[in-house]
Amino acid sequence: MSYPIFDTIHSPADLKALPEAQLPALADELRAYLIREVTAHGGHLSSNLGVVELTMALHRVFTTPHDHIIFDVGHQCYVHKLLTGRRDRFPTLRQGGGLSGFTLRSESEHDCFGAGHSSTSISAALGFAQADRIAGSDAYSVAVVGDGAFTGGMIHEALNNCSRHLRLIIIINENEMSISRNTGKFAKNLARLRTSKGYIRTKAATRTFISAIPGLGKPLFNGIRAVKQTIKNMVYGSNYFEDLGLYYLGPVDGHDCAAIENLLREAIAAGQSAIIHVKTQKGRGYAPAEANPGAYHAIPPATKAAPAVNFSAEFGRTLTELAAENPRICAITAAMSDGTGLEPFRAAHPARFFDVGIAEEHAVTFAAGLAAEGMRPVCAIYSTFLQRAYDSIIHDAALQGLPVIFGVDRAGLNAGDGATHHGIFDVAFLGQIPGMTVYTPATFGALRAAMRAALKGEGPAAIRYPNAGESQAVLDAFYGGESAELAPACRTNYSDAGALDAVIVTHGRIADEALAACDELAARGVCCGVILLELIKPFDRAAALIEANLPAGEATVLFLEEEIRAGGMGMLLSDKLRGRPIMQNKRLRILAVDDDFVRRNRDVPIWTAAGVDRAAIVAEILRKEG
């Protein structure tokens, strides 16, 4: 494809020099490039197609890295990357050693703040703005926030803490839910007037003229502004942001680069913290994404087809069936109903389905309230996002012994999204909570069994599962080839423990690597078996299951996991087993993610990057010392 204008843009300076008349054509080229590359290599498409003109305007008005542009979540930063000198590396997006799918401080000086979770941008931008105020810098801090982020409490905590006298601009990108306070022709015409160049020039000239009057200028101008605001509020009301003392501009068409530039310059001229409200369309320029932006929120590479059914879909299907049997079952999601497989539940049981928005902390305490009143709430939350609700899990659910069930989705390492989305901490932080039961099903049948068991329990329980489908190797090795619904316990791929030289104790998706390592060890004359745990906690029970399946003779026992080592399954269960008679002639080893966030700086499989692949397993078992 041809990109005659985009080919001339190598830095923000080139964009600033571009004639305004060429901006619409550049926007078209950027969209065409995004559609081609993201559909081929995977990534977040809808959100990036929606912010093309907005990102162009930001880089024409501000100068990074001196000024700071902070994207909420960061998944809509692709155009920002393309305009700041990273086009040559863009085909490596979300690949090992390639560009991150989010903003990343170590990747570019233009990425001032890293992100991967929602609702953090205004807090961070406020920090930058206050630091610049203290240092006497004239830099601006700009937070780009999607309207969905306003369902997260941190946004409102930050707004409550905003000072009026900062070089802080908050862009509200309205692309889904309406937060507009103005409707009708009058409001639309007024908004169009307020974003026009003539209006802004006249306003700037009036401000300069009145402020220049000796002695009276600034007080007079502030008085006129206050009277104008009062009259405006009487005619068609104020809004949330103005009530907080912030200067509000907009709404403006988010696909009109010139209009956005005008408002940005007006916000600068106002000399105070400002809110700019833009309206954009997710998926703009790509008909399938315009029609169904959710389906194109994040798409896999064209060469990697998603499994026909994954654990998330099976979780949602099973929960929907169980809810038909039990009217007390409720489902809760934090703005991820599609990703967590709960759309069928929403359709079948709308009165018992709750999407609380990007508010994981609230989701858990809300679930605790439901449980306290006799309901059986099930919270389906990604592992990486469940971290945000840790206090609520302890204080509101576990401490009171309430039967809240957590569907811990995307558990384990997640190659595409990287460090911000790895689910490697949940075993450690859930395992240390008194009364918490932790299930780790490796098949759909085990998932269904775990869900039934958890819903019959009297306290909190977590069921963790990966972003994947069933593994045929696991089904063949432990289930006779079929996904049988058996009680959560442990499985082995051997019948004669006495013949074993080594045993790998593991759980979840990484059992594939354990089985492959056993094959390689067999070729080297080492007889190795695998114990697959599908229940990690209570630890005493899990330890007893392991003990019952260990060889009596001398052997190496390797605990393998794709989670953090500190406080993880291996550390906790080996501690429980140590000192038991059967362990006297055993060499205990742990292979896990060792004090690392697992950032892939080279193009290798994710387990290799984490140091827990089959080669590492074989090397650890063959190691004689220790």
Express each pLDDT in 586-601 by its tens digit. Answer: 999 999 999 999 998 8
Among the listed residues 360, 470, 562, 620, the single catalytic one is 360
What confidence score (pLDDT) does residue 202 get?
56
What confidence score (pLDDT) does residue 88 get?
95
Among the listed residues 31, 167, 346, 388, the single catalytic one is 388
Q: Please say whether the beta carbons of 42 and 301 come within 8 A.
A: yes
Residue 388 annotated in active site: yes
Confidence of residue 402 (pLDDT cuts 50, 70, 90): very high
Q: Which residues pair with 332 in a beta bridge?
A: 354, 379
Topology agreement, domain 311-464 and domain 489-622:
yes
Average pLDDT over residues 501-524: 96
Task: Identify which of 188, 47, 77, 238 has the alpha carbon closest to the alpha carbon of residue 142.
Answer: 77
Decide which of 103 and 206 is more confident.
Answer: 103
Express each pLDDT in 166-192 by its tens digit. Answer: 999 999 999 864 333 333 433 344 344
Average pLDDT for the chain: 90
- Lowest mean per-residue pLDDT among 217-231, 350-364, 396-410, 415-429: 217-231
What confidence score (pLDDT) does residue 181 get?
36
Residue 105 annotated in active site: no
What is the residue extent of each domain of the chain?
6-180+273-291, 311-464, 489-622
Asked if CATH classification 3.40.50.970 holds for the domain at 6-180+273-291, the reply, yes or no, is: yes
Confidence of residue 227 (pLDDT cuts 50, 70, 90): low
What confidence score (pLDDT) does residue 208 get?
66
Asked if CATH classification 3.40.50.970 holds for the domain at 311-464, the reply, yes or no, is: yes
Distance CA 397, CA 175 (A): 35
Q: At residue 87, does pLDDT exceed 80?
A: yes
DSSP characters over 65-95: TTSEEEESSSTT-HHHHHHTT-GGGGGGTTS
What confidence score (pLDDT) does residue 180 get?
31
Q: At residue 243, does pLDDT exceed 90?
A: no
Q: At residue 94, does pLDDT exceed 70?
A: yes
Tell me how far CA of residue 602 lies from CA of 501, 556, 597, in angstroms.
34, 31, 15
Average pLDDT over residues 378-386: 97
Residue 602 annotated in active site: no
What confidence score (pLDDT) does residue 293 get?
87
Among the listed residues 60, 81, 282, 346, the single catalytic one is 282
**Exposure class string for 189-207: b at 16+ Cβ within 10 A, else e:** eebeebbeeeebeeeeeeb
Asked if CATH classification 3.30.565.10 holds for the domain at 489-622, the reply, yes or no, is: no
Decide which of 141 and 74 is more confident.
Answer: 141
Instruction: Show the tokens assigned to 608.
Output: 């290799």
